[in-house]
Structure 1
Amino acid sequence: MIEHDFADFSKVEGFLSFLASIDWRDPWLIGLFVFHFSIFMMAILTRNYGNFQAVLFFILLLLVYFSENINKLASTNWKIFSRQQYFDSNGLFISVVFSMPILINCMLMVGSWLYQSTQLMTTLKTAQLKEKIRKEKKQQKEVENKTKSE
């Protein structure tokens, strides 16, 4: 097991060494990644259910908003669920393993919404153009019928 004092980040030379110093086999970290993967799959599988995704999006943003409070709670109770103290006062760890994946999922949801919006706008504009052409043809036929009857 890797022993590091996460309260003193002067020992961590860079972001990659910080990630390398984490014991990724810790059961709660595995559970956290299962949570993130579940959220990702839920976001993908429910992309056509706007109301559900809006609620999911709001809940995920609330989790990110309260991540500072979660970090404080976890830093005082880390011995209950973790082998090491990861939760520093700067919030680097919780930002990397908790907030960043949630925000990436939120960005994917927004991207999906934008894509669906452009598809809907394209379909709507195509239908409007077809309707305009249909009306023009109908008017042209009426004009032709008037000129034939005269």
Structure 2
Amino acid sequence: MAGSLDGLSAALDETFRDIREKFREAGKEAKIWESLQAFAAAVDWTEPWIIGVLATHCLLLVLVLVFRKNWNLNMIIMVAAAAAVYNAQRINSYLHRHWAAFARQPYFDEQGVFISALMSAPLLAIMLVQLVSYLILTSQMLVEMKVKELKYKARQKARGEKQAQQTNKKDS
């Protein structure tokens, strides 16, 4: 028992040493803000296909917000966005092979960083907006149904009392 505890303690110590070392290494590397600035500077934001992708994201967000009560349209958007995010790796591979047909430079790397930043992250943000919208609508529906239930019970109680009074008058 003592041997297994010593082994566990040694493993935990080693794990914590590794974690501390990784944090030290991460602190030496570029900060996230600097990485984002470098990413933004490396992309030619005037390319028509990039403008089209960004415009599509803006259009989807507007559709989600304007038609937030249209469950069918929002479900179609959510399924399409989820399918695009799910297939991002395949899309990235295809675009990596054929970038020269539509882009001025090869944006699509093996790791999929560019497609994640340009396509997947905005789509996930749009789906998050949809989720919050669904939760708000659902809570509003729940409140409406509870109010209707309470009104129904109050009417039933009033009818029962009225019938009881009528029965008492007939009996007397």
Q: TM-score, normalised by structure 2?
A: 0.74
Mapping of residues 60-139 of structure 1, within 5 Å: 60-139=81-160
Q: Does 1:146 align with 2:167?
A: yes
Corresponding letter in the other structure for 1:136: K
More helix by share: 2
Question: Cα offset for 1:142?
Answer: 2.2
Give the structure 1 partner of residue 62 of structure 2. Answer: 41
- Listed one character per residue, the Cα deviations across residues 107-146 of structure 1 (whole Å, up to 9, x for unaligned) are 1112211111111111111000011111111212222333
- Listed one character per residue, the Cα deviations across residues 35-88 of structure 1 (whole Å, up to 9, x for unaligned) are 111111222233222222212211111111111111111111111111121111
- Single out whichever of 124-133 and 38-47 deviates more from structure 2: 38-47
Question: Cα offset for 1:16?
Answer: 2.9
Q: Which runs of 5+ in 1 are unaligned?
A: 1-9
Give the structure 2 partner of residue 59 of structure 1. Answer: 80
Percent of aligned pairs with the same residue? 29
Corresponding letter in the other structure for 1:67: A
CA distance in 2, matches of 1:69, 1:19: 24
Q: Does 1:28 align with 2:40?
A: no
Question: Cα offset for 1:28?
Answer: 1.3
CA distance in 1, matches of 2:113, 2:44: 16
- Single out whichever of 120-129 and 49-58 deviates more from structure 2: 49-58
CA distance in 2, matches of 1:15, 1:47: 32
Q: How many residues align?
A: 140
Query: Which structure has the larger Rg over C-alpha atoms?
Result: 2
CA distance in 2, matches of 1:124, 1:47: 20
Give the structure 2 partner of residue 6 of structure 1. Answer: none
Corresponding letter in the other structure for 2:55: V
